[in-house]
Amino acid sequence: MTTTIPTPLALIAELTHRCPLHCVYCSNPLELQSRGLELSTEVWSRVLREAAEAGAMQVDFTGGEPLARPDLVELVRAARSAGLYVNMITSGLPLDERRLADLVNAGLDHLQLSFQGLQEDAASEIAGTRALEQKLQVVRWARAHRVALTLNFVIHRQNLDRLEEMIAFGEESGAGRLEFAHVQYYGWAFANRERLLPTRDQVERSILLLQQAEARLRGKVRVEYVAPDYYAKYPKACMGGWGHKLMLITPTGDVLPCHAAQVIPGLRFDNVKNKPLREIWDSSEAFQKFRGEDWMQEPCRSCDRRTQDFGGCRCQAFLLAGDPAVTDPVCTLTPRHLIVEEIIAAANAASPEVPAAKPDWLYRPNPA
Amino acid sequence: MNPEKHARPRLAPGCRLSEPNRAPRMLQMPERALRLNGPSLEIVERCDGRHTVQQIISELQKIYSKAEPERVEKDILGYLALLQEQQALEFTVEDAAEQK
């Protein structure tokens, strides 16, 4: 069976790994790249054109912190002139009103601002620095400059009991969209999982609250949430399928099928400095490896759900079961689900306030 | 709920048409997009803060003159309500004195 090559919908551009925050659940890899190795403005501009030519509709400028790039305004302009919808995912640091106006004038379509919570001390413990005041300022500037705003609350064991407060704040903030994302366990979050993984009660209560908020605010504020997949019955359709909709480019130009793909041993990535993006998307070994269904094993191979969830997440299969080609252990249809059940049992044995065995956070550093 | 006919819809911040040289045309919004075909594209192109809802209806009734005018009106109002639910539109209403 041959696998047809789909059209990419969006490009996730990790412009830099530098970031003023040190979040304990950062999705960046444990091995961060330094400034000296980052792609130049010229290469990014070419890559943005190539992404649009390959069919992509949107670019997500992210990092690290994309604002750490002094050429961000120029890159926004390049993306817009390539015909892309320009989304920026940011901590809001370092930003001032003038620079926000410059970004909007250059064509920024949508700003996605992350929140660690609304309690200064608790949020600072997660971010490893104080950032809340500045974020509140960015919300006011975004409203003044009429830029579409999403507030992204990252939720986990330590802040789930304050979910109502986040919903109420988001509702009055002027943001058009609220995203509540349960931490996903990759990168730094995998290292800090014991202190982040919620209890079943917390999860069930949060889903109920978010469903109610979604219904109550419909037509006024969009409420969307990412469910915690360790507690799910079936795995998430990770990235909408491997090499199916999305691609990610690292600060140094490696093209990845997802944020975490570098954890999979032996997977080789092509770099935009050496090949056109379209060629990489179509034929690079990393994209072809788990594209389509040929790689699937049982129970996925004969499962009706394989066209919906694509076997779940390859990186999670490797992180939890040691093999990227098996069914995501989150799936209750695989015997490997026992791995997840054990993790969940441990998370529910301890009370939410008291972290289990691990006393200290592993903070993400800011690379040079 | 149907929008007022004298209101002037325009696309909300973060919502815009994809570039004309890219097919298919889409209404792009934060984290989602709507594919536009003939009539829906005609409607969205007129959500520019200048056309009133009534003007959009009249212009499309001319373009789609073979269709029943009532049907065209109903479809347009329905589509605008859908865009409104998607938070893709803002409506401005001038007061009566200004219109004269």
The whole-number average pLDDT for the span A297-310 is: 95
- A358 pLDDT higher than 60: no
Confidence of residue A4 (pLDDT cuts 50, 70, 90): confident
What is the average pLDDT score of chain A? 94
Q: CB–CB of A110 and B30 under 8 A?
A: yes
Partners of residue A150 in chain B, C-beta under 8 Å: 30-31
Confidence of residue B3 (pLDDT cuts 50, 70, 90): confident
Of A112, A131, A127, A191, the residue nearest A158 (C-alpha): A127
Condensed to tens digits (0 to 9), the pLDDT of residues A252-281 reads: 999 999 999 999 999 999 999 999 999 999
CA dist list (Å): A315 to A60, A190, A214, A256, A291: 21, 11, 30, 12, 14
Residue B23: closest CA among chain A residues belongs to which residue?
A: A55
Q: Which of residues 36-95 of B touch A (CB under 8 A)?
A: 84-85, 87
Question: The complex's ipTM?
Answer: 0.90
C-alpha distance from A51 to closest chain B C-alpha (Å): 13
Instruction: State the pLDDT at residue A2.
Output: 55
Helix (H) or strand (E) holding A150: strand A148-155
Instruction: State the pLDDT at residue A141.
Output: 97
Q: CB–CB of B87 and A147 under 8 A?
A: no
Instruction: State the pLDDT at residue B2.
Output: 72
Condensed to tens digits (0 to 9), the pLDDT of residues A13-67 reads: 999 999 999 999 999 999 999 999 999 999 999 999 999 999 999 999 999 999 9
C-alpha distance from A278 to closest chain B C-alpha (Å): 17
CB-CB contact of A77 with A106 (8 Å): yes
Q: Cβ of A73: how many Cβ atoms within 10 Å? A: 17
Q: Please give the Cα distance from A82 to A7 (Å, whole number).
A: 17
What is the average pLDDT score of chain B? 90
Condensed to tens digits (0 to 9), the pLDDT of residues A84-101 reads: 999 999 999 999 999 999
Q: Cβ of A288: how many Cβ atoms within 10 Å? A: 17
Which residue type occupies A359? P
Confidence of residue B100 (pLDDT cuts 50, 70, 90): very low
- A350 pLDDT higher than 90: no
Q: Is A306 helix (H, G, I), strand (E, B) or coil?
A: helix
Nearest to B14 among A83, A110, A221 (CB): A110
Residue A250 near chain B (CB below 8 Å): no
Q: CB–CB of B31 and A177 under 8 A?
A: yes
Burial class (CB in 10 A: 0-12, 13-18, 19+), A240: middle
